[in-house]
Amino acid sequence: MLRLVDHAEFVARTSEEIVRFAGLVANADLDAPVPSCPEWDLGKLTRHIGSVHRWVAHIITVRSLERVPSREVDLALPTQRTGLPAWLAAGASPLRAALAADPATNVWTWGPGGTVGWWARRMLHETTVHRADAQLALGLEPEIDAAVAADGIEEFLANLTSFALDNIKGLGGGDSLHFHATDGPGEWTIQLTGEGFTWAAEHGKATVAIRGRLADLLLLSYGRRRAQDPERFETFGDLAVAERWFAATQL
């Protein structure tokens, strides 16, 4: 299994993703629609991710143990929309400085963890997926490092009960899903229990199985791909189970 475990690597990779994102939108049409985020254009996508970076940096810097409303954070937004790419890039340094704290430092998190280390991992995957959104808007094929994609799938599953548990309970129990990477080590089996779900990074027989590249499996988890795409995925079993799962687990 490909894994990222070093806190410093999460922090460094997050900074790299911010710079990469800013470079993508630097000379782009910020009014271009983002197909994977239907209500947004590139400008709104850029503003969103840059705002999240500054909000998280603030939470860590003040060591808040409670959620801080985003309206209480000075985002220092540019006066002109054309300034958004440079503003996004400028947010990399303060976020990196905040995340460089001891990963065991206690701070508020919306998912299980409550540490700076949780935020470092979260910011890498938040930024990576939205960078992929920007590439899709520009007609580019998202490229995601295999280790990042594999860890992103597990991070998604680890946080899922914090925002989708009620929806998952509604799926009932008994069915299962299996994801299998075709371009590197990576397998995940999910079992629906009726009260939620369990998952393990292992091979297993399931009601439905989906095989694809790690990057595509990550984007599938986030609703950026469709399991019905035969050019990207092989599917076996009851695909309706997968469709219900993805409908219930989207942010």
Domain with CATH 3.30.1050.10 in the chain: 153-248
Strand-pairing partners, residue 208, are: 177, 237
Residue range 86-102: average pLDDT? 97
Is 188:201 a contact under the CB 8 Å cutoff?
A: yes
Residue range 114-142: average pLDDT? 98
CATH of domain 153-248: 3.30.1050.10
| pLDDT bucket at 1, cuts 50 / 70 / 90 | very low
CATH of domain 7-143: 1.20.120
pTM recorded for the entire structure: 0.95
Backbone angles phi, psi at 124, to 5 degrees: -60, -50
Domain with CATH 1.20.120 in the chain: 7-143
| pLDDT bucket at 226, cuts 50 / 70 / 90 | very high
pLDDT at residue 2, rounded to an integer: 54
Alpha carbons 187 and 179: distance in angstroms, whole number: 6
DSSP annotation string for the chain: ------HHHHHHHHHHHHHHHHHHHTTS-TTSB-TTSTT-BHHHHHHHHHHHHHHHHHHHHTT-SSPPPGGGS-----SSGGGHHHHHHHTHHHHHHHHTS-TT-B---SSTT-BHHHHHHHHHHHHHHHHHHHHHHTT------HHHHHHHHHHHHHHTHHHHHHHHHTT-EEEEEEEEESSSS-EEEEEEESS-EEEESS----SEEEEE-HHHHHHHHTTSS-TT-TTT-EEEE-HHHHHHHHHHS--
pLDDT at residue 218, rounded to an integer: 98
Indicate the average pLDDT of the chain: 96
pLDDT of 135 strictly over 60? yes
Residue 15 identity (one-letter amino acid)? S
| pLDDT bucket at 5, cuts 50 / 70 / 90 | confident
